[in-house]
């Protein structure tokens, strides 16, 4: 069905379609047709269920950060069959999108080039919207530094700690996004000293709360293995629970065509699949008791299984959803059950990391 309406959707500007999808999602929830949608899209199987770091996931397929930046669809997205969702990136101060913030499709490569510079409603407004809600599936909250030219280094650490403290009670896990390529300074936390300071400050802030929730760090697929080593070592020493691998890439050499892309941008979709799988495998081999969320170029059950076998406990999708439609989640879950059976495995947990041992 989606394959038939896709040409029509793709004839519109991608930001417009994104805005419309958020509006439609909100309306569908209000119209109370969610039961019908649920009946069409949901799929349950014991083999897909996983308990990771104290969180129960009904299946391993989650929505990646960036789609529901403001947490407007938390009442609706479980109907589509997701096992969990990650909202954000959320920043301490709100930031409106401007005409430089664009989303562009490269259809022949099943890729997206985005220049969405962490625009969102800000931690306070989003907290107020979500504070009374009961979430049906685990909720990850992705936090990033406010993308203002004046919020750098120490101010950025305070800024992230503010959002962390504000949103902590709502989340099942928190992701710290140190890898957004379309911002003034977000990737500066890949520097050893800066990351050490940031994670120390967050661990200290976490002392304010009784319940110790998982904290994950989101990594760029463009990091070198040496830089990844540094991030993992600092993360381990600070008691970071896990990693989201990875974000979008700003390396145009992952594309087949000669791209005329300039400025700050992030590429997602098929071209980054292998890059992220390679980093997942490396991280899995080098971590004790790893919790990795695998993301980047997942369009099918086979792609998801590849990430899981490389070392991801659960996975996320974004660009695949744009190209394949919401039915993709159900297809991935059904396909995973088939692949587990083919390999004589009883659960997702048994498949995690088998290609990286």
Of the candidate residues 64, 80, 304, 336, the single one contacting ligand FMN (CB under 6 A): 64
* Packing angle, helices 34-41 and 14-30, rounded to 10: 110
* CB-based contact 272:296 (threshold 8 Å): yes
Distance in angstroms (rounded) separating the CA atoms of residues 209 and 205: 8
Write down the least CB distance from residue 235 to ligand FMN, Å. 16
Of the candidate residues 25, 290, 294, 297, the single one contacting ligand FMN (CB under 6 A): 297
Nearest-Å Rg of the Cα atoms of the chain is: 19
**CB under 6 A: which stretch of 73-81, 109-117, 128-136, 325-333 binds ligand FMN?**
109-117
Q: Does 69 bind ligand FMN (CB under 6 A)?
A: yes
Residue 175 vs 206, nearer CB to ligand FMN: 175
List binders of ligand FMN among 111-150 (CB under 6 A): 112, 114, 116, 118, 142
Distance in angstroms (rounded) separating the CA atoms of residues 22 and 116: 16
Residue 83 vs 269, nearer CB to ligand FMN: 269
**CB under 6 A: which stretch of 50-58, 64-72, 156-164, 347-355 binds ligand FMN?**
64-72
The pair of structure tokens assigned to 120 is 């969102």
Residue 66 vs 81, nearer CB to ligand FMN: 66
Active site residues: 180
**CB under 6 A: which stretch of 24-32, 164-172, 293-301, 306-314 binds ligand FMN?**
293-301
* CB-based contact 162:127 (threshold 8 Å): no
Site string for ligand FMN, 2-41 (x = CB under 6 A): ----------------------------------------
Site string for ligand FMN, 212-251 (x = CB under 6 A): ------x----------------------------xx---
Distance in angstroms (rounded) separating the CA atoms of residues 191 and 196: 9
CA distances from residue 126 to 141, 230, 276, 351 in whole angstroms, order as listed: 11, 33, 30, 36
CB neighbour class for 122 (10 Å; exposed up to 12, middle 13-18, buried from 19): middle
The pair of structure tokens assigned to 268 is 């997602």
Q: Does 295 bind ligand FMN (CB under 6 A)?
A: yes
# chain residues binding ligand FMN, by CB under 6 A: 28
The pair of structure tokens assigned to 261 is 């892309």
Write down the least CB distance from residue 182 to ligand FMN, Å. 8
300 CB contacts (<8 Å, ≥6 apart)?
A: 320, 328, 331, 332, 335
Residue 47 vs 231, nearer CB to ligand FMN: 231
Give the residue at shortest CB distance from ligand FMN: 66
List binders of ligand FMN among 306-345 (CB under 6 A): 317-320
Half-sphere exposure of 145 (CA within 13 A, CB side): 28
Distance in angstroms (rounded) separating the CA atoms of residues 87 and 130: 11
* CB-based contact 293:314 (threshold 8 Å): yes
Number of helical H runs and strand E runs in the chain = 12, 13
Site string for ligand FMN, 268-287 (x = CB under 6 A): xx--x---------------
Residues interacting with ligand FMN, by CB under 6 A? 64-66, 69, 88-89, 103, 112, 114, 116, 118, 142, 177, 180, 218, 247-248, 268-269, 272, 295-298, 317-320
């Amino acid at each position: 069905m989606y394959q038939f309406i896709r040409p029509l959707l793709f004839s519109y500007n991608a930001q417009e379609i994104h805005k419309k999808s958020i509006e439609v999602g909100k309306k569908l929830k209000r119209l109370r047709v969610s039961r019908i949608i649920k009946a069409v899209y949901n799929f349950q199987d014991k083999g897909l269920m996983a308990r990771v770091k104290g969180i129960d996931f009904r299946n391993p397929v989650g929505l990646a950060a960036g789609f529901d930046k403001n947490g407007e669809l938390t009442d609706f997205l479980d109907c589509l069959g997701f096992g969990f969702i990650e909202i954000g990136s959320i920043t301490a101060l709100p930031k409106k999108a401007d005409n430089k913030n664009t989303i562009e499709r490269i259809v022949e490569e099943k890729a997206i080039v985005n220049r969405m510079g962490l625009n969102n409603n800000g931690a306070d407004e989003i907290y107020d919207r979500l504070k009374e809600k009961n979430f049906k599936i685990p909720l990850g909250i992705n936090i990033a530094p406010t993308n203002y030219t004046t919020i750098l280094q120490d101010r950025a650490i305070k800024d992230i700690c503010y959002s962390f403290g504000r949103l902590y009670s709502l989340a099942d896990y928190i992701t710290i996004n140190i890898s957004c390529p379309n911002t003034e300074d977000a990737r500066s936390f890949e520097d050893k000293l800066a990351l050490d300071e940031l994670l120390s400050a967050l661990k200290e802030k976490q002392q304010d709360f009784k319940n110790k929730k998982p904290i994950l760090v989101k990594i760029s697929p463009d990091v070198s293995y040496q830089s990844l080593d540094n991030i993992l070592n600092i993360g381990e020493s600070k008691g970071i629970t896990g990693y989201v691998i990875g974000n979008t890439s700003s390396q145009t050499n992952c594309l087949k065509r000669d791209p005329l892309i300039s400025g700050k941008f992030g590429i997602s979709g098929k071209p980054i699949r292998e890059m992220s799988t390679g980093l997942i495998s490396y991280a899995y081999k080098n971590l004790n008791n790893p919790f990795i969320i695998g993301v980047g170029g997942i369009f099918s059950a086979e792609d998801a299984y590849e990430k899981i076998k490389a070392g991801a406990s659960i996975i996320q999708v974004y660009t695949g959803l744009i190209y394949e439609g919401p039915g993709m989640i159900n297809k991935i879950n059904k396909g995973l059950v088939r692949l587990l059976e083919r390999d004589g495995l009883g659960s997702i947990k048994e498949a995690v990391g088998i290609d990286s041992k």
